[in-house]
């Protein structure tokens, strides 16, 4: 995906806000999941609201919430597991 964005002429530092370079995705940890639809429409499905309210009970967190400190694009469909005390 990154190669495709760069091929359109998008600057690297802009492109990596949208897709991780090879080897840097949370998915390689085996702890990240993408729900469907895996796009901005996920914010409008009931499952997203359920996750916002209950995912922490199961040690899941939204990796790139709206306005995240890292400056990454909002990915409401992308969540990760982190060990917690519940």
Residues found near Zn ion in the complex (CB under 5 A): 34, 78
Q: How are strands ordered across the β-sheet holding 60-62? A: 32-34, 78-81, 60-62
Closer of 42 and 78 to Zn ion (Cβ): 78
Count of Cβ atoms closer than 10 Å to residue 32 Cβ: 15
Helices (H), 16-82: 46-54
Beta carbon of residue 81, minimum distance to Zn ion (angstroms, whole number)? 13
Closer of 34 and 74 to Zn ion (Cβ): 34
Closer of 14 and 29 to Zn ion (Cβ): 29
């Amino acid at each position: 995906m990154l190669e495709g964005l760069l091929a359109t002429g998008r600057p690297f530092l802009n492109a990596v806000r949208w897709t991780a370079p090879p080897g840097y995705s949370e998915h390689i940890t085996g702890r990240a999941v993408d729900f469907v639809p895996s796009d901005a429409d996920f914010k409008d499905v009931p499952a997203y609201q359920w996750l916002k309210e209950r995912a922490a009970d199961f040690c899941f967190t939204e990796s790139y919430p709206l306005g995240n400190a890292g400056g990454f694009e909002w990915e409401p469909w992308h969540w990760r597991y982190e060990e917690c005390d519940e």
